[in-house]
Structure 1
Amino acid sequence: MSQNQSAKTAPAEARVTPMMAQFIEIKTANPDSLLFYRMGDFYEMFFEDAEIAARALGITLTKRGKHQGEDIPMCGVPVHAADDYLQKLISLGHRVSVCEQTENPAEAKKRGAKSVVRRDVVRLVTPGTLTEERLLDSGSNNYLAAMTRLRGGSLNNDSVYGLAWIDMSTGTFQVSETDDLRLAADLAQIAPRELILPDSLLQENDIRQTAEQSGGSLSPVPRAFFDSATAADRLAHYFGVKTLDGFGTFSRAELSAAAGILAYVEKTQLGERPPLDPPTREAGAGRMLIDPATRANLELTRTLGGEKQGSLLATLDRTVTGGGSRLLASRLAGPLVNPDEISRRHDAVEFFLENEMMREGLRQTLKGAPDMARALSRIALQRGGPRDILSIAQGLSAAREALEQTGSIQGSIPAEVTTARASLEAAPHELGAELVQALKEDPPLLKRDGNFVAAGYNSDLDELRALRDESRKVIARLQAEIAEELGVRSLKIKHNNVLGWFIEAPTAQSDKMVADPGRFIHRQSMAGAMRFTTTELAALESKIASAGERSLSIEMEIFERLAAEIVAAGEAIKAAAQGLSIFDVSSALAKLAQEETHVRPTVDESRAFDIKAGRHPVVERALRVSGGDSFVANDANLGPDKSDDPTGNIWLITGPNMAGKSTFLRQNALIAVMAQMGAFVPAASAHIGVVDRLFSRVGAADDLARGRSTFMVEMVETAAILNQAGDRSLVILDEIGRGTATFDGLSIAWATIEHLHEINKSRALFATHYHELTALSQKLDRLSNATVKVKEWKGDVVFLHEIVPGAADRSYGIQVAKLAGLPTSVVERSKAVLSQLEEQDRQSPAKSMIDELPLFAAFAQTNAAGADGAINPIDTVAEELDVINPDDMTPREALEALYRLKASRNAGKAG
């Protein structure tokens, strides 16, 4: 039995209406998303979709008829407000299929009175495919990223990962290749809003955790999306070329990721092709590697609470355009490691710093420059409106004005400024002038509303608008002309729904019209009056009746023509938008440097790290805003003693809590980031040898979702540092080992310092409360002690926030506890306990052990030999006995040593 036959024989309450049958069919084809089903001026949702959406959006859940004997849940949102609801659903992780009417109701009726209007899904809305202005953050890229894994690759690794990422709102398209060690850091730099990857890869726990750490919504897709065998052909087809040679050379993994992301775009956009740039390869080695934990600890773009306010980005941002803000964020996310490229950025900042009047004029111009790149993308995807065309017009006007302003300076112009100017010179300025002439100053949001073309641009349109908007005046003028010609003052031109427009005159004065039937056509005789029409009046009536429709049609034609011209000039427009963004970032960083007294750093290939009077940019600004004390600047010199020495120095910093150790650690890391992103830095001077990898272990938080305690998180992050840091790295470590027992923590911190010194050879700042470790400076020649200066005053501690050479002899923890408001009884009891502990442990055994234990390198060799069976366990016990000094040990330490020796002896017997 057919579906129609079954519907006829089924009970009335169980029958599926044609409209509901259509909904079910379309929903079945799109099961993984909420279906926005267009019905007139609303998007309706039914069944489970309605229940989910009603909860998420806080809107009323109603019902519409019955299906299989049960009520059909329903909710809806107005079409004109759909963007607001979409934004909320997307932010909650939902995907939405937008189902539009593909024909008008009149066409449907031609197929039958009860025919359902044809509908189809025209777009799948996901977090990474947004282009609407109201759904996007103007200051952040909205990246859709793809990740795939291949066996073997150019990185000499068993597994190689291909990454591709696009911003559909601007057309950016980049690819790179990475490995297991870099994968998390590379994803953190991209910070995708949505990450697609093969569903099989997502089943692996390690990969899933790394993907989740990126912060984006995860979208698994079939492995076939990433078919590397057909990847090159797919890319060539998308960009309409026969070969990719003109775009550069790409690895197999990069091509696979790029093909996967294009397949996803084609799936979600349903035939519409975003105007993507050809893919460009970003070499991972060209950027400072910053892992996710370090980015979070340093609060580069977001605070630990997830807020932008209070981050380094918010503190630095003086940009005035959306494109400039995105470029600044991108540069901060991926600082450069090439000194020449860094210097070019510094040259541009210095140029705008020295030319203040020009800079401020330029910034005023940039404030009026809309987001051309995103407007262009919407127009190309046929989602644009009159305001997007106006944005292109105003942006091109700003480009022309910026070109004139930056060209008025005498003398040499930096390379980066010259490049930006070249892109502005190549902009389609004639098109911009036409767009300004064509558009009203304040057009409507939607093209279907009409009335966006400026008066005087199209004579036919002007005439139709006059008929539409001034029809009464046109009729009155015609009435006056005929009345004067015929000498009938009481002649009127009237309108009704039966005759339309007609001429009415008294019967006694209608003889001239009756005598001229070729011109005046009799329509109706009334008691005492006659009614006529004329060819002119009939034509005018037809024009008036269709004027609104025809004027909208002409405006649509104008819109489509202008949109086509904009898309044709898309490459030049995008280049001009990038040029304006470069001007914005460089001039903004110059203004920042002037306002905050930042200086140009020296960045070169050395291993130097010499900061004079460095300051923490975020803390300094917060102190100023709050009206607090001025920031205390401090020096830091971690470079080698000799220029040809590839090894860095380590500062071991001791001092009380709240004295500023963590701030000092962070400020030096931030200064390195700022210098290599191309900004001036908060210091009196700065000489930095390129930092290729930045590691930070500052602060602590548990990760209960992954079964990790605070201490476990600390150890995982420390392990990553010790396994990856090299002699060009900068390492910031704070309170390693504090999350466990005293001796365990001290041992871990001790070994970590030795590993950094002997194996990693990194430039490092290491803050600790284990004062015993300061004795290591006597044996490790590149380890220096530094402490935070404090002053005791009438039993209280005063923090001076000054970093000076030397070591702290105490932590002042009880004084800090007193400042925090602990009860007096607790403070006094703490002092008594501390006094007894210090009496029993006048000399720490750790200090004597430092003198007696072999250095890390020698110990490591011994340990390796033992693993091969070359060391006799009895000898190991004897060596340990040689370094034990019973007179320096507490009873508990002596007992622990005895158990340790017993365990070593038993291990030897077992072997």
Structure 2
Amino acid sequence: MSQRAARSSPKTSVPAEETVSASPLDIAGATPMMAQYIEIKAANTDCLLFYRMGDFYELFFEDAEIASRALGIVLTKRGKHGGADIPMCGVPVERSDDYLSRLIALGHRVAVCAQTEDPAEAKKRGPKSVVRREVVRLVTPGTITEDRLLDPSRASVLLALGRRKFSESGYAYGIAAVDISTGRFSLSEVPEGELGAAIARHDPREIVLSEAIHSDPSLAGLWREVKAPVTPLAQAELEPASAERRIKEQFGVSTLDGFGQFGRAELAAAGAALLYIERTQIGARPALSPPTRETSGATLAIDAATRANLELTRTLSGERTGSLLDAIDRTVSAIGARLLAEHLAGPLTDLSAITRRHEAVSFLVEDGALRRSLRDALARAPDIARALSRLGLGRGGPRDLAALRDGLDAALAISQRCGEVKALPEDLAGIVQRLGTVDADLVEHLRAALADDLPLNRRDGGFVRAGYDAEIDEARLLGQDSRKVIAGLQARYAEETGCRTLRIKHNNMLGYYIEVPQAVGETCLKGALRETFIHRQTMIDAMRFSSVELNDLESRISGAADRALALETEVFDALAARIMAQAETVAAIADALASLDVTASHAELAVERDWRRPFVDDSFSFVVEGGRHPVVESALRRSGEPFIANDCDLSGEGRGRIRLITGPNMGGKSTFLRQNALIAVLAQMGAFVPATRVHLGVVDRLFSRVGAADDLARGQSTFMVEMVETAAILNQASRHSLVILDEIGRGTATFDGLSIAWACLEYLHEQNGCRALFATHFHELTALSQRLTRLDNATLKVAEHKGEVVFLHEVVPGVAERSYGLQVARLAGLPAGVIARAGSILKNLEKAERDRPTRPRIDDLPLFASLAPPPLPEVQAPAADDPLRQELDRIDPDALTPREALEVLYRLKKTARDDMN
């Protein structure tokens, strides 16, 4: 595997020189323990090695230096190697998950090396023998399963890629999306031009692919842009025959026909994913669902730039708070939160599926009592999908069993509650049908077996309920109440011998023994108890005995804790095996709970915010009445301020299919653009929308270019980034697409930018034919509405009161008179002198514009004609009576002494300040 996985994450704060070194360490002269470490490290050069030593995971050499800096822990040393000190640091095994999560977040991979041999066995091989250790697992961002390492509301997707030759000039790419923390497994195929959008939709934690794909120069820019570590695999390991064999072995089938028809690229991707999982899990096989095929075009295509611009799941700063997902999430379970994010990342394009989702939400909106009872039951459902996965990998604990108990119990309650409701919509009926497959006997069995207070790990014991298993109860009694058991046996022996002074004692040499006075002991040796008591020792005034019963009791007491834990482990394994025998059914129940939670979340949000059901069809309509921005409205509600709703109509073949928006800065243009795009996303994901009425023709692709920034990593300026994103829109948008563009051309010279914006508008109108919102400060473009028949103008209303500008945030037909840039600059706090000077310059520029000869009008130019830029307006020269100029004219620099020059400089500065004021 490549070392790149340890350093490819853009979020890592570890400098490049701190990446794991592949250079081998010399084993010569090393101690036996260090020789073992070096040997294991040599097989895992691309990972930090967590080497188990007692209660700590230790790291040595360069690994220790990297980890100490990354984790902020002390770097020490242990012995010498090659004449130099060996750097060392360590973390407690009990707290290792916390440190692992931090290292994974920094983009590192970690090999966990555990002791696989009892130290007593190692000693039998010789006094200097080292306990056998092996790497039991590779921890990577895309293959973690522990709750403490995972974000409960975000899927942990491992994305694998394969490809096939599509044409002489390009490839088709297969995508395998696997979440081993839940078992989800899907395959799809996309053309090369859509690969970036597909990766962005899955939002993977890690990407694996062949070396050939990774080294393809045409994809180099894509690997720089993705936010997940990218791990190349050797091409020789990814042969098509091997891929198909791995899939068959994973699911225990002899043919893949039962799963559907998959292309070569999809099978290659699936094989790469399974190979990587097999390698990182060291042979453990997760319980994956059979692969499902995602149909091309089944979801709304949204490229990475648009997702970032619209802040669908994260803000531009990478935070969930402030995103659309954060604003609409009303789910009450972790599985529901993940599915909501998945729906938002991939809104549907299938009209019937969209309609079914809306019908289900509408039903729960109208039946408030049912909605509330379902949400109460869902809130009690733990994350059974991830609990099931951990059990399948052998990493489950007692709390995972409890999670499945409570989750299945909630599913049973929901099924019974919905069984009382008649005429459920199709989607809800399907959910209830899946929930009805719960094994009620399994739930009761888990409830009877598991204690109320459960440890995190099964090795801690104490998780089986008292009374469930008589052997466990007996072992616990011996372990916990040994004194009481011994006292009972002592009382019985005292009664049988008639010796009140009989005692059962214990020492390290004899263990448990019976002690009686010597006279009584002689009687025991000759009397009826001679068959029961076994003489051990004679003292001056006492005799000591043992008995078969006492020896058996001692043996049971000494091993009681181990026996109790072994018996509990047997119970755990039996329960886990019973659950895993129904893994496919349990996984389907988890999916049903998630779907119900998302549906109920949409309904709760609709009632809370007065959102309405959109009407979606296959037309070209785009009618929004009373539309609001869901995130901005949410923020305003918290501060008690109202949101100004606006209409938008981009329908039909007539005027208005493209809306050109002008208006002042801070007037609300960007908010208006974004809110309409978000309304389309919400409608097609199956949610209600923040508007009084929406009629939407299904959008196949959504494009947004709102704002831009330098991409220094790729050596691209703001304007270059803007042009790249605009090019992607113009080259891919279709008649069914929705495009929102804000301030195209503002990153370059005025007439360059105007020309580009002009040509883009014409191209959208004549070539793409899409629905579009185009915001601009180039007021000259508004004249294009006179001959572009589907272009209409709109503006943001502004009022002026006592010299101050008031932004009304209301979109109305028409054209803005000006942009109010100086007023916004004043609100931003620019110095008064700068504002005044800018006002003076603006007046001169406007006067020069009015006075110069008339230039060609836009309606005089044919489509796609080049606009010959007129000469730039000249700024009017300062007036002859300018005090500053008069002062300068009187100065003879050659005649001034240094002191006089300084005084003149102060005087000029004062004159300039007075002039500005």
Q: Same fold (TM over 0.5)?
A: yes
Shift of 1:300: 0.2
Q: Deviations over 1:370-408 (max 9, x none)?
A: 111111111111111111111111111111111112222
Matched, 1:714 2:717: no
Q: Is the 8 A contact 1:318 1:592 kept in 2?
A: yes
For 1:688-735, what per-residue CA distance to the aligned partner results, in whole angstroms no more than 9, with x for missing partners? Answer: 000000000101111011011111111110111011111000000001
Shift in Å at residue 740 of structure 1?
A: 0.7
Q: Distance in 1 between matches of 2:244 and 2:851?
A: 69
**Does 1:582 find its partner at 2:590?**
no
What is the aligned counterpart of 1:441 among 446, 452, 465?
452
| Residue 843 to residue 688, structure 1, CA distance change in 2 (3 Å) | farther
Contact 1:789–1:803, Cα closer than 8 Å, also in 2: yes
Deviations 1:211-231 (A, max 9, x none): 332311111111234323543
Post-superposition offset of 1:791:
0.1
Matches within 5 A, 1:257-406: 257-406=269-418
What letter matches 1:606 in structure 2? Answer: S
SS at the partner of 2:690? coil
Q: Work out the CA distance in 2 between the residues paired with 1:125 and 1:889.
A: 64
Aligned to 2:249: 237
Retained in 2: the 8 A contact 1:59–1:75? Answer: yes
SS where residue 694 of structure 2 aligns?
strand
Q: Is the 8 A contact 2:849 2:873 kept in 1?
A: no
Deviations 1:800-854 (A, max 9, x none): 0000000001111111111112222222222222222222223898984212111
1:132 aligned partner: 146
**Paired residue type of 1:424:** L
Preserved CA contact (<8 Å) 2:656 2:792: no
2:684 to 667, 676, 679: 676
Give CA-to-partner distance per residue, 1:435-480, whole Å, 9 cap, x none.
Answer: 1111112211111111111111111111111111111111112222
Root-mean-square deviation (CA, aligned residues, Å) is: 2.0
Q: 2:98 aligns with which of 58, 79, 84?
A: 84
- 1:543 and 1:807, CA in 2 relative to 1: closer, same or farther beyond 3 A? same
Instruction: Choose which of 427, 436, 445 in structure 2 pairs with 1:425.
Output: 436
Match of 1:550 in 2: 563
Query: How far 1:484 moved relative to its partner?
Result: 3.0
Alignment equivalent of 1:609, drawn from 622, 625, 632: 622
Match of 1:36 in 2: 50
Work out the CA distance in 2 between the residues paired with 1:652 and 1:173: 44
Q: Specify whether residues 36 and 845 from structure 1 end up closer, same or farther in structure 2 by C-alpha distance, changes over 3 A only.
A: farther
Residue aligned with 2:604, SS: helix
Among 478, 481, 491, the alignment partner of 1:480 is 491
| 1:120 equivalenced with 2:128 (yes/no) | no
Superposed CA deviations along residues 332-361 of structure 1, whole A, max 9, x for unmatched, are 000000111001111111121122122212
Cα displacement (A) at 1:113: 2.3
SS of the equivalent of 1:113 reads coil
Q: 1:69 to 1:389 in 2, by over 3 A?
A: same
* Paired residue type of 1:413: L
Match of 1:790 in 2: 798
Matches within 5 A, 1:792-811: 792-811=800-819
In 2, Cα distance between equivalents of 1:77 and 1:320:
35
1:626 Cα deviation after fit: 2.6
User: How many angstroms apart in 1 are the aligned matches of 2:297 and 2:213?
Assistant: 25
CA deviation after TM superposition for structure 1 residue 14, in Å: 7.2
Residue by residue over 1:837-880, the C-alpha shift from the partner in whole angstroms, topping out at 9 and shown as x without a partner, is 22222389898421211124xx5xxx9xxxxxxxxxxxxxxxx9
**1:716-758: CA deviations, max 9, x gaps?**
1011101111100000000111111111111111111111111
Assess, with a 3 A threshold, how the Cα gap between structure 1 residues 847 and 435 changes in structure 2: closer, same or farther: farther
For the Cα contact (< 8 Å) 1:840–1:890, is it kept in 2? no
Alignment of 1:566-577 (within 5 A): 566-577=579-590
Using the TM superposition, give the Cα deviation of residue 100 of structure 1 relative to its aligned residue in structure 2, in angstroms: 1.2
Closer, same or farther in 2 for the Cα pair 1:592/1:486, shift >3 Å?
same
Within a 5 Å distance, the mapping from 1:828-847 to structure 2 comes to 828-842=836-850
Q: Spell out, residue by residue over 1:287-318, the C-alpha distance to the aligned partner (whole angstroms, 9 max, x if none).
A: 00000000000000000011000000011111
Q: How does 1:221-236 map to 2 (within 5 A)?
A: 221-236=233-248
Partner-residue secondary structure (3-state), 1:77: strand
Aligned counterpart in structure 2 of residue 538 of structure 1, from 548, 551, 554? 551
- TM-score, reference length from structure 1: 0.90
What is the alpha-carbon distance in structure 1 between the residues aligned to residue 653 and residue 214 of structure 2?
Answer: 48
SS in 2 for 1:523: strand
- Which residue in the other structure is 1:777 paired with? 785
Q: Is residue 526 from structure 1 mapped to residue 534 from structure 2 by the alignment?
A: no
Amino acid at match of 1:257: A
3-state SS of paired residue (1:286): coil
Letter in 2 for 1:80: E
User: Judging changes above 3 Å, is the alpha-carbon distance between structure 1 residues 274 and 843 closer, same or farther for their aligned structure 2 residues?
Assistant: farther
Q: Say how many residue pairs are matched.
A: 847
Instruction: Identify the residue that residue 451 of structure 1 maps to in structure 2.
Output: 462
Secondary structure, counterpart of 1:413 in structure 2: coil
The one of 479, 504, 525 equivalent to 1:493 is 504
Q: Which residue of 2 aligns with 1:517?
A: 530
1:407 paired residue number: 419
Q: How far apart are the structure 2 equivalents of 1:436 and 1:229? A: 46
What is the match of residue 467 of structure 1? 478
Q: Which deviates the most, 157-166 or 584-593?
A: 157-166
In the alignment, which residue of structure 2 is the partner of 1:150? Answer: 164
- Distance (whole Å) between structure 1 residues aligned to residue 279 and residue 408 of structure 2: 33
Q: Distance in 1 between matches of 2:264 and 2:855?
A: 55
- Give the aligned residue type for 1:502: Y
SS of residue matched to 2:530:
coil
In structure 2, the partner of 1:749 is 757
Identify the residue that residue 631 of structure 2 maps to in structure 1. Answer: 618
Query: Structure 2-normalised TM-score?
Result: 0.90
Q: Deviations over 1:194-246 (max 9, x none)?
A: 01122233233441221332311111111234323543233223222111110
Question: Matched residues in 2 for 1:821 and 1:723: separation?
Answer: 41
Task: Report whether the alignment pairs 1:725 with 2:759.
Answer: no
Conservation of the 8 A alpha-carbon contact between 1:698 and 1:734: yes
State whether residues 775 and 847 of structure 1, in contact with CA within 8 Å, keep that contact through their aligned partners in structure 2: no
Instruction: Name the counterpart of 2:890.
Output: none
Q: Which residue of 2 aligns with 1:18?
A: 32
Query: 2:184 matched to which residue of 1?
Result: 172
Question: Percent sequence identity over matched residues?
Answer: 58
Equivalent position amino acid for 1:193 in 2: R
Measure the CA separation in 2 of the matches of 1:718 and 1:844.
Answer: 33
Partner of 2:80: 66
**Aligned-residue offset at 1:323:** 0.6
What secondary structure sits across from 2:531 in the alignment? coil
* Alpha-carbon distance, 1:890 to partner: 7.0
Decide whether the 8 Å contact of 2:170 with 2:192 is kept in 1: no
- Change over 3 Å in CA distance of 1:777–1:14 after alignment to 2: closer
Is this contact kept in 2: 1:776–1:850, CA < 8 A?
yes
Measured in 1, the distance between the counterparts of 2:834 and 2:85 equals: 66
Secondary structure at the aligned position of 2:755 is classed as helix
The 3-state SS of whatever aligns with 1:127 is: coil
* Greater alpha carbon shift after TM alignment, 663-672 vs 107-116: 107-116
1:615 CA displacement: 0.3
Q: 1:512 Cα deviation (Å)?
A: 4.5
Closer, same or farther: CA 774–545 of 1 in aligned 2, 3 Å: same
The answer (yes or no) to whether the contact 2:122–2:129 under 8 Å persists in 1 is yes
1:162–1:178 contact (8 Å) kept in structure 2: yes
Return 5+ residue gaps in structure 1 as ranges: 1-12, 864-879, 894-911
Cα offsets for 1:773-794 (capped at 9, x unmatched) = 1111111111110000010111
